[in-house]
Amino acid sequence: SQTIHQWPATLVQPVGSPLSLECTVEGTSNPNLYWYRQAAGRGLQLLFYSVGIGQISSEVPQNLSASRPQDRQFILSSKKLLLSDSGFYLCALTGNYGYTFGSGTRLTVV
Amino acid sequence: GNSVTQMEGPVTLSEEAFLTINCTYTATGYPSLFWYVQYPGEGLQLLLKATKADDKGSNKGFEATYRKETTSFHLEKGSVQVSDSAVYFCALSDFQGAQKLVFGQGTRLTINP
């Protein structure tokens, strides 16, 4: 079965610091990969998706970027975090068994 | 654009109570509708889904019916248990280049023994 590993579970970072969140995938090849974010009091919002290596689509303008250096690796980055980047970040994939989500990273920017 | 509006929480019930979490949507076309659940410390899991009007999704005693006329997909369970305590998300699918999900804001449910 397809699984997705996401880390860390929680992260506290100062304003202006860089960010790198990584997720890796097992049990499927050539999946579509997604980054979602939930800000306080709001639903999960799609930030980026990727249909293949090096292919990134951005859904909303923001302070973040995404990269897919390998088929099963998806990275969310920022050069300088803002307070508004705080939230719950979920990596997800669609493969042979529909949508599978990682366990999420709760990011607090202080 | 497509959107999902979900009953605000938190919701607190006693064990064996009847549960309803309201969900309405706005969409062009005919999206599939989903309920996802997130138990403490875990990722989102698909609870149930419906792919066309009048379909009823069901799982673990939960049910939801795709109502096109009222653009709703309310989640119900006849008798909740403490183990149902979790955050519930209503979502619709929007396929444009990839299968994207549009989520409601989530409803935190707490069941007291």
**B42 has pLDDT over 90:** no
Q: How far apart are CA B50 and CA B32, in angstroms?
A: 6
B69–A contact, CB cutoff 8 A: no
- Give, as one character, the DSSP assignment of residue B72: B
Confidence of residue A39 (pLDDT cuts 50, 70, 90): confident
Query: Do B99 and B32 form a contact (C-beta atoms < 8 A)?
Result: no
| Residues A93-104, mean pLDDT to the nearest whole number | 84
B87–A contact, CB cutoff 8 A: no
Q: How far is CA B46 from CA A5, B33, B78, B110, in A?
A: 17, 11, 19, 19
Read off the pLDDT of residues A59-72 as tens digits, 9 standing for 90 and up: 887 899 999 999 99
Quick one: pLDDT at residue A13?
97
Confidence of residue B97 (pLDDT cuts 50, 70, 90): low
Q: Is the peptide bond before A8 cis (omega within 30 degrees of 0)?
A: yes
Residue type, A69: P
* B29: CB partners within 8 A, 6+ apart: none
Number of CB pairs, chain A paired with chain B, less than 8 A apart: 56
Tokens of B6: 């979900």
Query: Cβ contact (<8 Å) for B43 and A57?
Result: no
